[in-house]
Amino acid sequence: METMNMEGTPALHGYYMPAEWEPHSQCWIGWPERPDNWRDNAVPAQQVFAKVASAISKFEHVTVCASAAQWANARSQLPENIRVIEMSLNDSWFRDTGPTFVIGISASSSSTPEPKVAGIDWNFNSWGGIDDGCYRDWSHDLLVARKILAVEKLPRFPHSMILEGGSIHVDGEGTCLTTEECLLNKNRNPDLTKEQIEDQLKAYLGVRKVIWLPRGLYGDDDTNGHIDNMCCFGKPGVVLLSWTDDEKDPQYERAVEAFSVLSNTTDANGRKLEIIKLHVPGPLYMTDEEASGIFQEDCEAKPRLPGTRLAASYVNFYIANGAIIAPQFGDLKWDDEAVRVLSQAFPNHEVVRIEGAREIVLAGGNIHCITQQQPHIPQSIVHKLVGDKLKLLQFMATLNCTLQEEQLNKYQMGCTFSGLNALYDAVNGGGDVWINETRFKIVRQLGEGGFAYVFLVKEVVSDSSASGGGGLAKKFKDPSHVSDDGTYAMKKVLIQNSEQLELVKEEIRVSSLFSHPNLLPLLDHAIISVKPTQEASWNHEAYLLFPVHLDGTLLDNAKTMKTKKEFFSTSDVLQIFRQICAGLKHMHSFDPPYAHNDIKPGNVLITHRKGQPPLAILMDFGSARPARRQICSRSEALQLQEWASEHCSAPFRAPELWDCPSHADIDERTDIWSLGCTLYAILYGVSPFEYALGESGGSLQLAIVNVQIKWPAGPKPPYPDALHQFITWMLQPQAAVRPRIDDIIIHVDKLISKFSQ
């Protein structure tokens, strides 16, 4: 099995390296085993690797590569939805030994545009060669990139320059981050100048500008200062920087140095960079016990010594399709702070904590270092890139693509993925989707998260149904659901396995149960089988149709109001909250009652109405389940906590879902806790416990369990104390004394009567 070697550079063939937040087809991970780098025969590390792989597999496909001796062990520790293949390895740092994937679009005049993916196979010398590397024999690792490309049958761009994937980070729009400490180190490419290395990065990654930070993270001696421990892009124009406020910490000098460089430069498109500080943990050091577990007699690897400063950084995370897989080091203050910062930096991604990530950093890296994303361009976009060549060329010019008309026929396009989206929408006016017998034109994307995308769509009315107000009008039981202009919101779910298929079916079933003016109705749905390529296996896609509310969610409105220093009036607060309660009462009134399980501002749609309070609609029933559950053992309690960690947003999660007793009766009053947090957020634009932690950080779980509530400055005159007392009433730590939804509605009606005067 061999792959096709390409001549010339990727940029010449129209390839470029996409940003890590662009869509992935899968993630590649190696399996650790060498006892002279991983303690206790790599058993603790393997457990954490399995956690990482399992977490990512909930959002995208994962392939784990293990040696022949470890294949059965890896297979036994990993979920069935993860592919495990046999591959000889020296160690398991796939960010550095795997290929750097690049993408493009074929656009010759004689064929329909198709996505194309290839890989760059850099030279590798174990981060420094015989004298300075991490281990002496890297012959197996030198072949990892070639083998991965052969498995995937992808073109290979071989390069003699020594470079590891962790030493570069791109924004997908022409800018690359790296460090002088690493790429200019004499143990890498001593015969190349800085200018020559930069030229190679531009030719192979398809970038136009390289930003050089002087040094990487303090303590990152194994890699000589890889960028992925120090700084990364969060989106175009935004970077996250490993920071410390401790001026005595050697990392402080490096952080200030990097901050100065980043503050005084622009990206390839002339934007000033927004810098988000992400505080490092600790500092952390290797213990005697940890070092003693590493086999270091006559070993082939760099010694691991007790007291060594660990290169621990929260910047070293993995961006999955709709998720951030974040390391946690056991430093409660900075672990929670990192999750808070990452949640704000990636509002459309779920932040998934990986406890025990210290095991990876003991060997010199972390989550980003052990993973390698393989990008994917959705076929639906590619198939629409046809038509007027003049328009294509005009838009290519606006998107900073440099190919001329004759080159378009000879080579391929090298636009960024976000650019392709714009090109697709502008030239073709969006795509068409069928939900059962009704056709819709995609107008634009409204949002995304996990495996799901939300689009604004418009019904395409046939001549035969035009006189009747559209084909959908005949299907809806409630005529108020018919859109006057034919526009709706469509949720598209990419289904990767049978477990996800069952979850989508359950969401459809539960959504179909409810019928209430303050609950978002599911208007129509379809699940179809898809096969992206001839070689691929069959998967499914689900299309869910809803009414559209273009004013966004309470969360969207809170962000806008915060920038304007605006607040809802007391009357509007109560009217919005009353509507949420009305929708929730409908769910709680079922037999058995249903709990929503994820009430938060991001799941409340708002429509502003002239002369009236805003309309509030509770949405997203993907976490809704029968509310009442009896817990009879510690195992059941832990299962509930694990389920809640995946389905209930942390800042709004009830205490009993954080720390469930071994014997407990769980009921719908978990939603009442979330209601109290949501009312607080309507008032002040932030959840109570995120505000309580503030800039000082701390443990979110402890703040919730201990009910640490602080009241920020609000509007002038301030909100009445009665609202604060109302919130406190709902935020009872003991669920048994928490009010029920009927009690809440009675009380809010009294407040409306009192404050509407």
- Any idea which residues carry the catalytic annotation? 369
Q: What are 531's strand-pairing partners?
A: none
Which two structure tokens, joined as six digits, stand for 314?
């929260």
Q: How many CB atoms lie within 10 A of CB 2?
A: 10
Contact 173, 269 (CB under 8 A): yes
Is 410 annotated among the ligand-binding residues? no
Question: Strand order in 114-123's β-sheet?
Answer: 100-106, 114-123, 156-162
DSSP state, 227?
G
SS3 of 699-724: the string is: CHHHHHHCCCCCCCCCCCCCCCHHHH
Question: Who's near 528: CB < 8 A, 6+ residues apart?
Answer: 540, 541, 542, 543
Which two structure tokens, joined as six digits, stand for 304?
């691991």
Question: Who's near 665: CB < 8 A, 6+ residues apart?
Answer: 628, 629, 630, 631
For the chain, the distance separating the N- and C-terminal CA atoms, rounded to the nearest angstrom, is 79
258 membership: H or E segment, kind and range:
helix 250-263
Question: Who's near 111: CB < 8 A, 6+ residues apart?
Answer: none
Q: Of 183, 187, 229, 230, whose CA–CA distance to 205 is shortest?
A: 183
- CA atoms of 146 and 153, how far apart (whole Å): 10
Contact 549, 617 (CB under 8 A): yes
206 membership: H or E segment, kind and range:
none
Which two structure tokens, joined as six digits, stand for 570?
């007391």
Contact 27, 64 (CB under 8 A): no
SS3 of 147-205: the string is: HHHHHHCCCEEEEEEECCHHHCEECCCCEEEEEHHHHCCCCCCCCCCHHHHHHHHHHHH
- CA atoms of 387 and 184, how far apart (whole Å): 46
Question: Who's near 568: CB < 8 A, 6+ residues apart?
Answer: 561, 576, 682, 683
SS3 content of the chain, % helix, strand, coil (to 5): 35, 20, 40
Task: Mark out the alpha helices in 302-443 (DSSP H runs).
Answer: 332-345, 358-361, 367-370, 379-382, 389-398, 405-410, 417-428
Q: Of 451, 446, 535, 549, whose CA–CA distance to 495 is shortest?
A: 451
- CA atoms of 310 and 26, how far apart (whole Å): 29
Q: Burial-class residue 315 by CB neighbours within 10 Å (0-12, 13-18, 19+).
A: buried
Contact 617, 605 (CB under 8 A): yes
Q: Name the binding residues.
A: 475
